[in-house]
């Protein structure tokens, strides 16, 4: 768990602290299997009890949070999931993506995920776990996308202007997730250039020990732009125990092909948005 992130100084005047804190509570509860106690939430927020109670009572009143009577912990309801599903459903992205991702999972026998890019963020929206293998990736092994350590983050950043990619990396921080993580900005930028040249990203135990991943960007041509735009990333992850780096790279063409199929059916979009289709 982490403390509530600080809003950039130039944006502080445009934000509402209460909303920021409420969203932070939701994010922390999403990462907690059994919910969080009031004391844990209080410590994470760093506020007085009165403010924390009001925030939690508001989230309970709006049905985003409930209090488990057995444990006394605060937990998320499924309403937040429903909001995301409604968003994705309206864009028709889920139905169109599932068939393509399932095909890739069946071909490779590995764990497949789709991340969507909106504005300057990238977020997981779908995962497909095959039943072919006994040794598999835990579908919850990584909910965060490390821009410099995860194949999804690398694949996306490699499609951007290098100056913007560098800015996003430095803003998110060069955290060492494993002994194999690249933590020098020169190393990371060199890796992004290589990723751009070959059309896919590799993360081999950089984000999590025992896990390798390959990612390919979903590139579309927006109506209002001259240059192609990365709107998502398809990734394949596998335990290194049965897939070494060369084997992982041999999967890249299939991941790239799946990304191209997704691009062909991607909802009409403008910069950074998934618009509803009629």
pLDDT tens-digit series, residues 190-239: 999 999 999 999 999 999 899 999 999 999 988 777 889 999 999 999 99
Residue 125 lies in a domain: yes
- Taking the C-alpha atoms of residue 262 and residue 9, their distance in angstroms, rounded to an integer, is 38
Quickly list H helices, the chain. 17-30, 38-45, 49-61, 79-90, 93-108, 151-157, 162-172, 185-198, 245-250, 252-265
Residue 215's domain comprises: 85-265
pLDDT tens per residue across all 278 residues of the chain: 555 555 455 455 567 888 999 999 998 998 888 899 999 999 999 999 999 999 999 999 999 999 998 899 999 988 887 777 676 666 666 677 888 999 999 999 999 999 989 888 898 888 888 766 544 444 444 456 889 999 999 999 999 999 999 999 999 899 999 999 999 999 999 999 999 999 999 999 999 899 999 999 999 988 777 889 999 999 999 999 989 999 999 999 999 999 999 999 887 644 444 444 43
Residues 40 and 90 reside in one and the same domain: no
Residue 192 lies in a domain: yes
Domain endpoint, select from 51, 77, 103: 77
Residues 73 and 132 reside in one and the same domain: no
Residues 71 and 129 reside in one and the same domain: no
Residues 98 and 25 reside in one and the same domain: no
Domain endpoint, select from 77, 94, 114: 77
Domain with residue 105: its CATH number is 3.30.450.40
Residues 49 and 97 reside in one and the same domain: no
Residue 134 lies in a domain: yes
Evaluate whether 146 touches 207 at the Cβ level (below 8 Å): yes
Residues 50 and 181 reside in one and the same domain: no
In tens, the pLDDT along 256-274 reads 999 999 999 887 644 444 4
The answer, as to whether pTM is greater than 0.75, is no
- Taking the C-alpha atoms of residue 264 and residue 254, their distance in angstroms, rounded to an integer, is 16
What total of structural domains would you count in the chain? Answer: 2
Question: What pLDDT is recorded for position 91?
Answer: 60
DSSP string computed for 76-118 = E-SHHHHHHHHHHHHTTHHHHHHHHHHHHHHHH-SEEEEEEEE
Residues 170 and 57 reside in one and the same domain: no
Residues 214 and 251 reside in one and the same domain: yes
Residues 89 and 58 reside in one and the same domain: no
Residues 53 and 143 reside in one and the same domain: no
What the block records as the tokens of 148 is 């410099």
Residue 191 lies in a domain: yes
Domain with residue 41: its CATH number is 1.10.10.10
Residues 166 and 40 reside in one and the same domain: no
What the block records as the tokens of 267 is 């909802």
Residue 270 lies in a domain: no
Residue 271 lies in a domain: no
CB-based contacts of 114: which residues, under 8 Å, 6+ apart? 97, 101, 124, 125, 126, 127, 232, 233, 234, 235, 262
Domain endpoint, select from 77, 106, 132: 77
Residue 37 lies in a domain: yes
Residues 89 and 73 reside in one and the same domain: no
């Amino acid at each position: 768990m982490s403390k509530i992130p600080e809003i950039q100084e130039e944006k502080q005047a445009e934000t509402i602290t209460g909303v920021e804190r409420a969203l932070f509570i939701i994010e922390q509860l999403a990462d907690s299997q059994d919910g969080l106690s009031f004391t844990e939430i209080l410590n994470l927020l760093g506020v007085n009890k009165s403010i924390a109670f009001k925030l939690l009572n508001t989230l309970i009143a709006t049905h985003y949070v409930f209090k488990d009577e057995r444990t006394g912990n605060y937990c998320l309801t499924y309403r937040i999931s429903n909001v995301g599903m409604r968003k994705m459903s309206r864009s028709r992205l889920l139905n169109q993506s599932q068939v393509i991702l399932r095909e890739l999972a069946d071909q490779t026998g590995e764990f497949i995920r789709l991340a969507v890019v909106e504005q300057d963020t990238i977020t997981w929206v779908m995962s497909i776990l095959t039943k072919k293998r006994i040794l598999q990736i835990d579908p919850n092994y990584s909910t965060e996308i490390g821009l410099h350590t995860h194949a999804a983050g690398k694949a996306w950043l490699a499609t951007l202007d290098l100056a913007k990619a560098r800015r996003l990396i430095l803003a998110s921080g060069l955290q060492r997730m494993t002994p194999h993580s690249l933590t020098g900005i020169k190393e990371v930028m060199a890796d992004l250039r290589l990723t751009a040249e070959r059309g896919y990203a590799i993360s081999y135990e950089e984000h999590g020990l025992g896990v390798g991943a390959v990612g390919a960007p979903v590139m579309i041509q927006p109506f209002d732009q001259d240059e192609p735009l990365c709107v998502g990333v398809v990734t394949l992850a596998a335990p290194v125990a049965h897939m070494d780096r060369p084997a992982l790279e041999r999967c890249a063409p299939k991941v790239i092909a799946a990304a191209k199929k997704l691009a062909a059916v991607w909802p009409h979009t403008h910069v950074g948005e998934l618009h509803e289709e009629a």
